[in-house]
Amino acid sequence: MAKSVFYHAGCPVCISAEHDIINLIGAENVEVVHIGEVRNRIDEAEKAGVKSVPALVTPNGNVLHINYGASIADVKG
């Protein structure tokens, strides 16, 4: 199975959701990307349709915004 990508920015809501997602779908099935630190992937996240973090982009390209930590604009600062 192709991996999902979990974008987050280190916020408490993000970390909590990251743990839940890894428990649910398995660490081997998800790439975790901290776009607060790996800033050259912010553009990729936006192009995938990510409006806020935490968000999970599924293997078929759908974006699941999970709870609400911060907007992409906030992450860009």
CB of 38 to a second copy, least distance (A): 23
| Tokens representing residue 58 in the block | 């599924």
Tell me if 74 sits within 8 A of 50, measured CB to CB: no
Query: Restricting to residues 58-77, which ones interact with a second copy according to CB under 8 A?
Result: 58-60, 62-68
Q: Does 24 bind a second copy (CB under 8 A)?
A: yes
Q: For a second copy, which is the closer residue by CB, 10 or 67? A: 67
Would you call 61 exposed, middle or buried from its count of C-beta atoms within 10 A (0-12, 13-18, 19+)? exposed
Contact set with a second copy (CB under 8 A): 4, 16-17, 20-21, 23-25, 29, 58-60, 62-68
